[in-house]
């Protein structure tokens, strides 16, 4: 793809990124950071591509390590974010019980 | 698979990520947003196996790759499932670090693979990814060590540190230039080592209270490295996903810094401006009023309105359930109870909300700072559990102290203040709290959970 096209995508993505999180309450800062952290785990895709094209031992070793690290980042990131958010949801139930 | 189709599916994944961030920014859509993000990531990962690079052909080494993914899942999922919620900030830091490390490794492998064929742009992007990815990796590991308290949370500043950091930074930039000219592997190795070292030096002088901001910043950094890798690998998906995280992470870092009243630049360049702090004046001899659990129980029982201010001390003591028991008991006695949550109580913005939610504290009792501050003048007792810096009036009265300008909870407006503290040791920011010596203040020393349990039983016997 041409450099100009990639640059356009980059600039537009910057604005989308700014826009979607501009109004977020402090309560959600930690889950949001954790969720964004999981999203950059898609570096896994890059790791798989380079691992799949490696012929010799050194690049293969390095890229397999990259696959492991990226998987931890992605999978662990989404799971821990879900756990945080699960707690936010759970707190409404007992509140209604006690109100009675 | 047809490569247009591949790109289209990549686009779907990218849209998922945008929706995920959007969802995560609102309380209602947060959990769904995270799941949408996970779906996007899964789609992107599955579809890459069907990708046929026109120049390289299909993927090789499939069993190894799948094995590596499985291994990553086996490590990542239990770590995420089992971690104590108090230790969650450092886990996020660690996840971020391994992501940065992965990006750096991918860039290195692709660089070795391209060899002389690498374009100027690709070399530039590789240099950027290796540099920033390595900084993110060692920097995050160091924040992990700080938050886990495996090392001191105070800023680490050594004599001549500034000169060392400046020299290493110059060396890093020099090595980056060398790689750009030489396009060889030796220069890249030097760049890698120097960047790893710089990541450590960059985070060492950061004080404990600023660590969350640094994690958020490193998170944004890692996003940008993923975007740069996307450029090298010609993957629009990586470019978009990485840029999204980079941009939103930057905004989030700014939001956090302003919630804490901290200048971002001051934190960033803390490495260059930090001076060794004078040791705190040896144990202040002024008298403090310390009370017994019974005294505290009596104060609470006769109050009409109590505001509980939880801090990290509550979190480390795992006292969130006990504090709720106390609140329930007081409510049953007709006392009006609210929790005053400072935006950065705990170790990360929003961390305390997560912890109290875990203990099923009713949502209506959680009051944000702006909401609770005007009510302190009508409050009989402010019960500060394991917090210090977020209620320190020095933030308002002492220009030049490390937390000056940080918005605080005005507990000094309440008729009585009770501090549950482990010791007279100052808080994370390492500054003295005048409020502790105020005649209206009662101190109850000990582990937050033990103290609360004693107060609860005293209150029951009352």
Using the Cβ of A45 and the Cβ atoms of chain B, whether some distance falls under 8 Å is answered with: yes
Using the Cβ of B256 and the Cβ atoms of chain A, whether some distance falls under 8 Å is answered with: yes
pTM of the model: 0.81
Q: Which residue has the tokens 């007081």?
A: B330
Single out the residue of B233, B238, B8, B24 nearest to residue A10, CA to CA: B238
Which DSSP state fits B373? G
Two tokens, residue B393: 């009036």
Cα–Cα distance measured from residue B200 to residue B197, given in angstroms and rounded to the nearest whole number? 5
Strand-pair category, B305-310 with B336-341: parallel
| pLDDT per position as a tens digit, B144-160 | 988 887 887 777 777 77
Task: Scan residues 15-44 of A and list those with Cβ closer than 8 Å to B.
Answer: 15-18, 20-44
Helix (H, G, I), strand (E, B) or coil at B202: helix
Which DSSP state fits B53? B
Is B253:B216 a contact under the CB 8 Å cutoff? yes
**B48:A17 CB<8 A:** no
Predicted local confidence at residue B282, as pLDDT = 42
Predicted local confidence at residue A51, as pLDDT = 94
Single out the residue of B64, B49, B69, B54 nearest to residue B9, CA to CA: B49
Give the active site residue among B234, B328, B389, B450: B389
B183: left (phi over 0), alpha (psi -120 to 50) or beta: left
| pLDDT per position as a tens digit, B48-86 | 998 877 777 788 889 999 999 999 999 999 999 998 877
Strand-pair category, B336-341 with B416-421: unpaired
Q: Which residue has the tokens 């009352």?
A: B462
Q: How would residue B280 be classed by pLDDT, with cut points 50, 70 and 90?
A: very low
Predicted local confidence at residue B136, as pLDDT = 95
Two tokens, residue B65: 């790759």
Task: Pick B144 or B355 by higher pLDDT.
Answer: B144
User: Mean per-residue pLDDT for B287-299?
Assistant: 87
| pLDDT per position as a tens digit, B20-38 | 999 988 888 889 999 999 9
B101 contacts in A (CB within 8 Å)?
A: 66, 69
**A37:B96 CB<8 A:** yes
Indicate the average pLDDT of chain B.
86
Predicted local confidence at residue B118, as pLDDT = 79
**B21:A20 CB<8 A:** yes
Is B143:B92 a contact under the CB 8 Å cutoff? no
Could you say which of B24, B72, B245 has the minimum Cβ distance to residue A40?
B245
Two tokens, residue B246: 């980079």
User: Mean per-residue pLDDT for B323-331?
Assistant: 92
Q: How would residue A1 be classed by pLDDT, with cut points 50, 70 and 90?
A: low
Highest mean pLDDT among B288-292, B330-334, B348-352, B406-410: B330-334
Could you say which of B238, B243, B360 has the minimum Cβ distance to residue A43?
B238
Could you say which of B102, B215, B344 has the minimum Cβ distance to residue A66?
B102
Predicted local confidence at residue B128, as pLDDT = 94
Active site annotation includes B234: no
| pLDDT per position as a tens digit, A44-89 | 999 999 999 988 999 999 999 999 999 999 999 999 999 888 877 6
**A44:B364 CB<8 A:** no
**A76:B362 CB<8 A:** no
**A75:B76 CB<8 A:** yes
**A24:B25 CB<8 A:** yes
Predicted local confidence at residue A98, as pLDDT = 38
Could you say which of A24, A35, A92 has the minimum Cβ distance to residue B37?
A35
- Assess whether pLDDT exceeds 50 at residue A99: no
Cα–Cα distance measured from residue B294 to residue B302, given in angstroms and rounded to the nearest whole number? 12
Using the Cβ of A97 and the Cβ atoms of chain B, whether some distance falls under 8 Å is answered with: no
DSSP element (H, E) containing B367: strand B366-368
Predicted local confidence at residue B1, as pLDDT = 62
Cα–Cα distance measured from residue B110 to residue B349, given in angstroms and rounded to the nearest whole number? 37
Predicted local confidence at residue A94, as pLDDT = 41
Interface with A, mutate which of B248, B342, B345 (most A CBs under 10 A):
B248
Q: How would residue B406 be classed by pLDDT, with cut points 50, 70 and 90?
A: confident
Closest-CA residue of chain A to B341: A27
A77 contacts in B (CB within 8 Å)?
A: 80, 92, 95, 99
**A37:B95 CB<8 A:** yes
Using the Cβ of B224 and the Cβ atoms of chain A, whether some distance falls under 8 Å is answered with: no
Identify each DSSP E strand in B311-438 by its residue range.
336-341, 366-368, 381-385, 416-421
Cα–Cα distance measured from residue B394 to residue B404, given in angstroms and rounded to the nearest whole number? 7
Predicted local confidence at residue B393, as pLDDT = 87
Q: Sketch out chain B's domains with CATH numbers.
A: 1-81 (no CATH), 88-273 (no CATH), 291-459 (3.40.50.1220)
**B76:A73 CB<8 A:** yes
Distance from CA of A64 to the nearest CA of B (A): 6
Strand-pair category, B416-421 with B441-445: parallel
Distance from CA of B35 to the nearest CA of A (A): 8
**B251:A88 CB<8 A:** no
Q: Which residue has the tokens 């109590």?
A: B306
Task: Scan residues 316-375 of B and list those with Cβ closer than 8 Å to A.
Answer: 328, 343-344, 348-351, 353-354, 356-358, 360-364, 368
DSSP element (H, E) containing B221: helix B211-233
Give ipTM to 2 decimals: 0.89
Q: Any idea where the domains of chain A sit in the sequence?
A: 3-18+28-88
Task: Pick B283 or B223 by higher pLDDT.
Answer: B223
Q: How would residue A95 be classed by pLDDT, with cut points 50, 70 and 90?
A: very low
Q: How would residue B429 be classed by pLDDT, with cut points 50, 70 and 90?
A: low
Task: Pick B103 or A23 by higher pLDDT.
Answer: B103
Predicted local confidence at residue B356, as pLDDT = 85
Cα–Cα distance measured from residue B159 to residue B161, given in angstroms and rounded to the nearest whole number? 5
């Amino acid at each position: 793809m041409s450099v100009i096209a990639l640059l356009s995508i980059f600039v537009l993505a910057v604005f989308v990124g700014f826009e979607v999180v501009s109004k977020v309450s402090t309560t959600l800062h930690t889950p949001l950071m954790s969720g964004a952290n999981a999203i950059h785990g898609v570096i896994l895709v890059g790791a798989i591509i380079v691992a799949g094209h490696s012929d010799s031992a050194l690049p293969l070793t390095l890229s397999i390590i990259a696959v492991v690290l990226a998987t931890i980042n992605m999978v662990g990131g989404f799971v821990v974010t879900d756990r945080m958010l699960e707690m936010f949801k759970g707190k409404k139930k007992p509140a209604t019980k006690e109100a009675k | 698979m047809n490569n247009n189709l591949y790109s289209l599916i990549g686009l779907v994944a990218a849209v998922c990520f945008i929706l995920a961030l959007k969802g995560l920014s609102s309380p209602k859509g947060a959990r769904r947003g995270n799941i949408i993000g996970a779906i996007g990531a899964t789609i992107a990962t599955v579809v890459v196996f069907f990708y046929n690079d026109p120049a390289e052909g299909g993927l090789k080494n499939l069993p190894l790759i799948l094995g590596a993914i499985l291994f990553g899942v086996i490590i990542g999922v239990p770590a995420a499932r089992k971690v104590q919620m108090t230790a969650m900030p450092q886990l996020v830091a660690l996840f971020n670090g391994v992501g940065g490390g992965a990006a750096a490794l991918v860039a290195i492998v692709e660089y070795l693979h391209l060899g002389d064929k690498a374009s100027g742009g690709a070399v530039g992007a590789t240099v950027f990814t290796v540099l920033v990815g390595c900084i993110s990796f060692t920097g995050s590991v160091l924040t992990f060590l700080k938050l886990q308290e495996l090392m001191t949370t105070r800023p680490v500043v050594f004599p001549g540190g500034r000169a060392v950091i400046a020299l290493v930074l110059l060396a890093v930039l020099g090595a980056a230039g060398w790689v750009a000219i030489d396009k060889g592997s030796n220069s890249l190795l030097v760049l890698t080592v120097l960047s790893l070292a710089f990541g450590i030096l960059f985070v060492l002088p950061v004080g404990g209270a600023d660590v969350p901001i640094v994690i958020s910043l490193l998170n944004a950094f890692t996003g940008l490295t993923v975007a740069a890798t996307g450029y090298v690998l010609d993957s629009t998906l990586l470019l978009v996903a990485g840029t999204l995280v980079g941009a939103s992470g930057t905004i989030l870092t700014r939001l956090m810094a302003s919630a804490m009243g901290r200048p971002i630049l001051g934190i960033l360049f803390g490495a260059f401006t930090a001076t060794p702090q004078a040791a705190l004046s040896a144990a202040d001899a002024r008298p403090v009023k310390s009370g017994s659990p019974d005294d505290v129980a009596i104060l609470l029982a006769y109050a009409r309105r109590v505001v509980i201010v939880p801090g990290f001390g509550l979190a480390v003591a795992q006292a969130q359930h006990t504090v709720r028991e106390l609140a329930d008991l007081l409510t049953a006695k007709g006392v009006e109870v609210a929790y005053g949550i400072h935006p950065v109580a705990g170790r990360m913005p929003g961390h305390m909300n997560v912890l109290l939610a875990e203990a099923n504290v009713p949502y209506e009792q959680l009051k944000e700072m702006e909401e609770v501050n005007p009510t302190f003048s009508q409050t009989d007792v402010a019960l500060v559990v394991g917090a210090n810096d977020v209620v320190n009036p020095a933030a308002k009265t002492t220009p030049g102290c490390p937390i000056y300008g940080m918005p605080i909870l005005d507990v000094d407006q309440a008729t009585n203040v009770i501090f549950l503290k482990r010791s007279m040791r100052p808080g994370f920011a390492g500054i003295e709290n005048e409020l502790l010596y105020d005649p209206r203040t009662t101190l109850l020393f000990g582990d937050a959970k033990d103290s609360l349990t004693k107060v609860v039983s005293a209150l029951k016997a009352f």
